[in-house]
Amino acid sequence: MALPDSPRTAVSNPPTQGFIENLGPGDVIKRSATDRLPPPTRELTPVAKLIDVSKCIGCKACQSACIEWNDTHPAIEENVGVYMNPHDLTPDMFTLMRFAEWDNPDTGNLEWLIRKDGCMHCAEPGCLEACPSPGAIVQYSNGIVDFNHDNCIGCGYCIKGCPFDIPRVSKTDHKAYKCTLCSDRVAVGQGPACAKACPTKAITFGTKEDMKALAAERVVDLKSRGYENAGLYDPEGVGGTHVMYVLHHADKPHIYSDLADKPKVSPVVHAWKGVTKTAGLAAVGLAAVATLAHGLLGRANKVSAEDDAHAREFLDREEPGGQP
Amino acid sequence: MSDPAAIEQGDEILPGNPPRVVRYRGATRLNHWITAACMVLLLLSGVAMFWPPLFFLTALFGGGQTARFLHPWIGVTLVISFAVLARQFWRGNLWNRTDLDWTAHMGDLVAGREEKMPEVGKFNAGQKFIFWSMALLILAMLASGVVIWEEYFGGMTSIPIQREALLVHWLGASLIMLVLILHIYAAIWVRGSFDAMIRGWVSPGWAWRHHRLWFRRLAARSADRGDARV
């Protein structure tokens, strides 16, 4: 059997022996602010994290595992009467359980919808498109979108590029942070910390193909239990994602704490980094060339001897007591 | 409607051979060049953070992080400096009837037939265009720049607004670059203009050729005051 190039699972202690170390420079398929990227040396199997919200019990073990593995220190905040803690994603909290209470108009049931929020690892990442710093954001051939903090300049353009409102810029070191899909674990054959810690297997990890197959099973099961609109959230608008959800109400993602119904990179961002950029730079370049050409070939506007004579004559006339 | 021949503080004809026509006093020149220096630094750091082939320019500022930190502060400095400059210049740049006539004769100007142009005051219509477009564009850059100043104002506006501010900031920057090219080129093409902003004075011939109304008013005032001339 061929050696796996990506971990296939996040369950306890998957074997690391015989695993081909991955996520090196040869595995990068997109690099921020870089046009001519050398082609990747190989093609890794796409991986994905599947979050089955119907199995989530809201225990926040995933958040704890994330803090533990990434060694972050989210501030202790005040309880404002909801379970969500901290109150938002922060530079120190890459994943967050968002709790929503939804009144189902069809059944009259009050449903408690819990969604683990965090980077979706888009196939077409808006953050990477918006980033001005070469190599601050990379995408690997297995689908992971990762921030390289050595190159981050802290401008926050990734925040504007992201259709999911995920990256956060630290007020301490002025660098942007988000979920890495545990790229440092995946690189050595381990699944993400959150998936490993999840007690109900609401979070699973493996190849994207396997995760889609697992999701399909789950959707069949949910439908048999009366959730007719159950489905997989793998939005096409961003080319699909490497973090996917199984939703019991996949027809209305927004009820899950404002999950985007049809996410896509904003046309404003495309215009900013696309047509207006080309047009603006071309106009400035043309103007520079045109003035240079006129300067070299055209005639300068010089003061003539005549002008000088007229001016002197005029001054003489104006002089008090001067010649009439 | 403004007085077409209005003069500014410090404008005068100094006797001598040749007489020196003072156009910009020292404080104005310093003010102008501080604004210009800020503008150059803003363009270098700004374009570095927008167009990847020029990202290396961030090295001039000590790297990407410092360029990102400095850019908005240089912007604030420019806004203050330009505001001081505008406080002096706005009156002389008010539009009047001569400007329409001047604009209609722009073809003659480019073709080198300046004698067909109407007499103008301290600023011609082209200079007024540069002044007002800079004023407007700098305001647009300030407004959009504050919105995308992540460090202090990052969370104060919605992300869709921030995206629009990014676009406005780029469009404003490209227009400013076009106006700047026009401004700098006009100063080079019209020989003697740089002298006005560097040493502060121009020759009577220059004033006669390019700003005759202004020159006439200055001469008349000197005569009234009975300034002695050699």
Would the pLDDT of A168 be above 70? yes
Q: C-alpha dihedral over B139, B143, B148, B152, to 10 degrees? A: 110
pLDDT score of B230 = 40
C-alpha–C-alpha distance, residues A90 and A164, integer Å: 14
Distance from CA of B15 to the nearest CA of A (A): 10
Each residue's pLDDT tens digit, A205-226: 999 999 999 999 999 999 999 9
pLDDT score of B17 = 83
Give the Å distances, CA to CA, from A145 to A46, A208, A244, A300. Answer: 12, 15, 14, 55
Cis peptide bond upstream of A167, omega within 30: no
Binned at pLDDT 50, 70 and 90, residue A321 comes out as: very low
Q: Which amino acid is at B30?
A: L
User: Which has more confidence, B98 or A66?
Assistant: A66
Give residues with Cβ within 8 angstroms of B161, minimum separation 6.
B147
Token pair belonging to A40? 């990747």
For A154, which of B65, B114, B174 is closest by C-beta distance? B65
Would the pLDDT of B109 be above 80? yes
pLDDT score of B112 = 84
pLDDT score of B1 = 52
Q: Which residues pair with B63 in a beta bridge?
A: none
Whether B68 and A153 lie within 8 Å, measured CB to CB: yes
> Which residues in chain B are contacts of A160 at CB distance < 8 A?
148, 159, 162-163, 166
pLDDT score of B16 = 87
Which range, of A12-21, A204-213, B135-144, B154-163, averages the lowest pLDDT? A12-21
Give one DSSP letter per residue of A9-69, joined into a string: --SSS---TTPPP--SGGGEEEETT-SSPPPPSS-PPPEEEEEEGGG-----HHHHHHHHH
Binned at pLDDT 50, 70 and 90, residue A136 comes out as: very high
A278 touches chain B (CB under 8 A): no
Would the pLDDT of B227 be above 70? no
Binned at pLDDT 50, 70 and 90, residue A137 comes out as: very high
How buried is A39 (Cβ within 10 angstroms: 0-12 exposed, 13-18 middle, 19+ buried)?
A: exposed
pLDDT score of A320 = 57
Distance from CA of A98 to the nearest CA of B (A): 20
How buried is B153 (Cβ within 10 angstroms: 0-12 exposed, 13-18 middle, 19+ buried)?
A: middle
Q: Which of A289, A296, A301 is nearest to B106 (CA)?
A: A301
Task: Supply the mean pLDDT for chain B.
Answer: 93
pLDDT score of A3 = 63
Would the pLDDT of A176 be above 70? yes
Would the pLDDT of A123 be above 80? yes
> Which residues in chain A are contacts of B167 at CB distance < 8 A?
268, 271-272, 276
At CA A287, angle to CA B210 and CA B211, rounded to 5? 5
List, in sequence order, every beta strand (DSSP E) within A171-237. Answer: 176-177, 203-207, 231-233
Each residue's pLDDT tens digit, A228-275: 999 999 999 999 999 999 999 999 999 999 999 999 999 999 999 999
Whether A153 and B49 lie within 8 Å, measured CB to CB: yes
**A113 HSE (CA, 13 A, CB side):** 24
Token pair belonging to B50? 């927008």
Contact by Cβ (8 Å): A163, A263: yes
Q: Tell me the catalytic residues of B.
A: 183
Q: Which residues pair with B21 in a beta bridge?
A: B13, B202
User: Which has more confidence, B96 or A13?
Assistant: B96
Regarding beta strands A47-52 and A243-247, do their DSSP bridges make them parallel or antiparallel, or are they unpaired? Answer: parallel
pTM summary value: 0.93
Q: Which residues pair with A145 in a beta bridge?
A: A139
Give the Å distances, CA to CA, from B223 to A62, A321, B53. Answer: 87, 9, 58
Q: What is the CA radius of gyration of chain A?
A: 29
